[in-house]
Amino acid sequence: MADHNHCDHHEGCGHDHLGHDLGPEDNLFSQIDRANVVALNGVQDGANVIKPWSERLDQTKFLESDADDQIILRIPFTGSIRLRSLLIKAGPEDQTPSKIVLYANQPNLDFDEVNERTPSQEFELPQSNEVGEYPLKTVKFSNLSSVTLFIPAAQGAEASKIYYVGFLGTWSKRNENPVITVYETQANLADHPKIQGMDGAHSSLGQ
């Protein structure tokens, strides 16, 4: 696989074609919470495109837009994620998304809000039948619990279509230990500064 470290701080660096069968060691398929993947304006289930590496070229399962050519795909993770690349297979031809817009940790993003939020990164997609790798700015995709993909338009067709979405990066267990706070059930006056007028007798406020 080509080294894309030089692209980490620049958009529009293009994509790399991944052809080896074993797949990248840092593929995060197993860390995606597939049961809670949500597609807005999709005909099919959003989890259709979250596939293991061995099924990345499969075209029997896909996600196609419904009412128009826009799609929002919300993808939650099971831990704390640091992404380095987006993997995607789309098309065919004019059903290929014009671009992919990514939002970090925006799990409830919808069509009313998407144009009001600043994207974390975006890529234009070429028309291709291969899986493309798109380097991400890791500084913007660290400590992730979710990532949301927005497809604003197809390249001429009435509907957008994608076959595969994957990610490369690192995973760590999310710290979910509760913060324990101890509250006093009864105030102990010895532990608090003495209030003038409270020496064993009541004080009349307002006088």
Q: Assess contact for 73 and 163: CB atoms under 8 A.
A: no
* CA geometry: angle 109, 132, 136, nearest 5 deg: 55
Position 5 confidence tier, pLDDT thresholds 50, 70, 90: very low
Position 181 confidence tier, pLDDT thresholds 50, 70, 90: low
Q: Assess contact for 36 and 76: CB atoms under 8 A.
A: yes
- Is 70 exceeded by the pLDDT of residue 114? yes
Better-predicted residue by pLDDT, 141 or 195? 141
- Is 50 exceeded by the pLDDT of residue 197? no
Total-model pTM: 0.75
- Is 90 exceeded by the pLDDT of residue 13? no
What's the CATH code, domain 5-175? 2.60.120.470
For residue 146, what are its two tokens? 């979710």
Q: Rounded to an integer, what distance in angstroms lies between the CA atom of residue 133 and that of residue 128?
A: 12
pLDDT of residue 199: 46
Q: Rounded to an integer, what distance in angstroms lies between the CA atom of residue 104 and that of residue 46?
A: 18
Encode 67-80: b = buried (16+ Cβ within 10 Å), e = exposed: eebbbbbbbbbbeb
163 φψ region: left (φ > 0), alpha (ψ -120 to 50), beta (else): alpha
- Is 90 exceeded by the pLDDT of residue 24? no
